[in-house]
Amino acid sequence: MVVWGLLLFLMNGCNSESKTQTGTMECAFEWSGPLYEGSNPAQELVKVDLASLLGNPVQEGMKIMKIQLKSAELSGDSASALNGIASLVLSIASDDPSLPMKELAVLNPVAAPSGQATLKPSPEAELSDFFAQKEFYLVVDAGISADRDQNLRLTGKFQWEIQYR
Amino acid sequence: MKKLTLFLMGLALSIQAYALMPGEDGDRLLGVWEPSNGRARVKVEKIGTKYYGKIVWLKEPNDPKSGLPKTDKNNPDANLQNVPLKGYRMLKDFVYQGNNQWTEGTIYDPLNGSTYSCTIKMTDPNTLDIRGYIGVSAFGRTDIWKRLAVKK
């Protein structure tokens, strides 16, 4: 009897296979000039909306196993919007003391002249704890090579890989 | 006379409360600080409700071998070894606890790629005791950091 029970439990466990889906999110990052040579951060508060990210309603009992950044693109308003930017680093942070900030992706150096940059994501950063919060911060550090007076506005397009069951 | 005494007492209490307010403000940590070795300067900023310190100046900004700006080449995550060291957040996730102390944070040593638990104590408006440790605070090392633009 115990053996049958164990077998049924194992079969049930095997049936609840995990699924992987990608979701895309866009955020705007703004820097007010003047900007000084060196690293200049811009932060954006992201309200977590898994249903919108997955493109379907979050069902009861659904368990998020793993979330990773799959791709990260930053683009400006013009083809030369990134001129004068030497490096771009994307990080994630939370007000929750138990969640330390993580670097997610980097591009160094940024090719010039350019209006768009594709950052290289770190596959080691697992983010399900951040998405379990109501909100988190995405931070972009723009490494400016020389002082500039103008404002800077970049749009971030981030693709997340979500594993759930 | 009684009314005047009460008014003066109330006024004195209000002034005292006002004087104490800045003393309880975690934002006093914001600014540029220099560790005792003088090899770097660290700017403390706020993201959300936590405090972070990034390297804004290095005595030796370039790698002696390549001549290029230094990157975080000792980062245990190989994908992030290309992050510029100038701009790197070596202090992360500090929460103000009152009593001139910020805790819950970490300090990163770019020389060996190690991250340590860390507490910050402001001993006066221009001086910080930065204590890095592994596990228990008793087993650690304290460095004294000075504010760059001295507050009077």
Q: With helix as H, strand as E and coil as C, how does B62-128 read?
A: ECCCCCCECECCCCCCHHHCCCECCCCEEEEEEEEEECCEEEEEEEEECCCCEEEEEEEEEEECCEE
CA B48 to chain centre: 15
Q: Which residues of chain A make contact with B86, given a CB cutoff of 8 A?
A: 38-39, 143
Tell me the domain boundaries of chain A. Answer: 18-164
Are residues B84 and A87 in contact, defined by beta-carbon separation less than 8 angstroms? Answer: yes
- pLDDT, average across residues A8-27: 72
Calpha distance B5→A153 (Å, rounded): 58
Mean pLDDT score of chain A, rounded to an integer?
A: 89
Count Cα atoms within 13 angstroms, Cβ side, for A128: 9
CATH of domain B26-147: 2.40.128.520
What pLDDT is stored for residue B4 in this prediction?
54
Chain B residues in contact with A139 (beta carbon < 8 A): 47
B5 by DSSP, 3-state: which?
A: helix
HSE toward the beta carbon, residue A1, CA cutoff 13 A? 0
**Of B113, B48, B26, B111, nearest in space to A91 by CA:** B48
Average pLDDT over residues B70-92: 96
- For residue B7, the distance in angstroms to the closest alpha carbon of chain A comes to 42
Question: A18-164 domain in CATH 2.60.120?
Answer: yes
Q: In the A/B pair of chains, how many CB contacts fall below 8 A?
A: 74
- Judged against a pLDDT cut of 50, whether residue B21 lies above it is answered with no
CB A48 within 8 A of CB A128: no
Please give the sequence-ordered ranges of beta strands (E in DSSP) within B14-64, or none if there are none.
31-34, 40-47, 50-58
- Using DSSP's 3-state secondary structure scheme, residue A165 falls into coil
Q: Mean pLDDT across the stretch A9-17?
A: 52
- Encode pLDDT of B39-58 as tens digits: 999 999 999 999 999 999 99
End-to-end CA distance of chain B: 40
Give the total residue count for chain B: 152
Q: How far apart are the first and last CA of chain A?
A: 29
Cβ of B38: how many Cβ atoms within 10 Å?
A: 9
Query: B150 by DSSP, 3-state: which?
Result: coil
**Residue reference for tokens 């070795």:** B37
Q: Do A97 and B104 touch (CB under 8 A)?
A: yes
Residues of B in contact with A123 (CB under 8 A): 79
CB contact under 8 A, B84 and A121: no
Which residues in chain B are contacts of A44 at CB distance < 8 A? none
Amino acid at B76: P
Which of B32, B56, B45, B52 minimizes the C-alpha distance to B126? B32
For chain B, the domains span: 26-147
> CB within 8 A of A84, min separation 6: which ones?
A112, A144, A145, A146, A148
Residue B88: CB atoms within 10 A of its CB come to 25
What confidence score (pLDDT) does residue A55 get? 83
Q: Which residues pair with A94 in a beta bridge?
A: none
**What whole-number percentage of chain A has pLDDT above 90?**
73
Q: What interface predicted TM-score (ipTM) does this complex get?
A: 0.86
